[in-house]
Amino acid sequence: MGVWPYFKLTVASAVMLCLEIWYFNGLVLLAGFLSNPTIELDTMSVCMNYWNWDMQFMLGLSAAASVRVGNELGAGHPRVAKFSVVVVNATSIFISIVFTAIVLIFRVGLSKLFTSDEEVIDAVSNITPLLAISVFLNGIQPILSGVAIGSGWQAVVAYVNLTAYYIISLPIGCVLGFKTSLEVAGIWWGMIIGVILQTATLIILTARTNWSTEVDKAVARVNQSAE
């Protein structure tokens, strides 16, 4: 009986993360079906590499937020848990602003780290403003996901990811990418819309959280596990 709650939480965590990771990998696959697949795929791959570099920093902060919030809830400190959410989000937003500025300032130089093809460099430079938006959103979305993990909301976030990315974002990206002249930029716009929807939902969920109630739930789970 004691294993079942942890099993459900583990499955929910896996589904939550896999839905997100598979979506972003799928975008690279979609780029290969555009009218000029070589350039479009190279452009998407270079931008995704930028995005992944930034994501490594944010995943570290996300893990820290998850552990800290979970520990404070288990310790019965609702105000400290809430304060931790504010601090880690403020820190990540500041870091994202710096990374966004780097991407915009060195939009050509960064591309040359990956390719010497002038056509690809120009294509990456054109899509850099969209990449900058994604980098900035990375300062909020992964951190809120970490808070959700620390609070035990994995199942809720899994439904949010499914709706935002697959039901809304993916069709929009396909329409903009294949039915308009935007092509790879259209696919990226679809991704941005999905991230914005997910981030807005997580912000509302976090802002409306009664942390005292979450502490009570955490204590109940701890007591149940102890028994």
pLDDT in tens, 82-97: 999 999 999 999 999 9
Say yes or no to pLDDT of 199 above 80: yes
Identify the band that residue 78 occupies on the pLDDT scale cut at 50, 70 and 90: very high
Q: How many CA atoms lie within 13 A of 19 on its CB side?
A: 26
pLDDT in tens, 97-151: 999 999 999 888 888 888 888 999 999 999 999 999 999 998 899 999 999 988 8
Tokens of 135: 């980098």
The per-residue pLDDT for range 1-21, each reduced to its tens digit, is 467 777 888 888 888 889 988
Q: Which of 184-188, 196-200, 216-220 has the lowest mean pLDDT?
A: 216-220
Contacts for 75 with CB less than 8 Å, ≥ 6 apart? none
Identify the band that residue 226 occupies on the pLDDT scale cut at 50, 70 and 90.
low
Report the share of the chain in percent with pLDDT over 70.
98
Task: State residue 115 phi and psi, 5-degree precision.
Answer: -155, 155
| pTM of the predicted model over 0.85 | yes
Task: Give the C-alpha separation, 126 to 113, whole Å.
Answer: 17
Give the span between the Cα atoms of 186 and 36, in whole angstroms: 14
Rounded CA-CA distance 219/221 in Å is: 5
R_g (Cα) of the chain, nearest Å? 19
| Of 60, 140, 61, the residue nearest 97 (C-alpha) | 140
The pLDDT-based confidence of 210 (bands split at 50, 70, 90) is very high
Q: Residue 174: exposed, middle, or buried by beta-carbon count in 10 A (0-12, 13-18, 19+)?
A: middle
Phi, psi (degrees; rounded to nearest 5) at 179: -110, 0
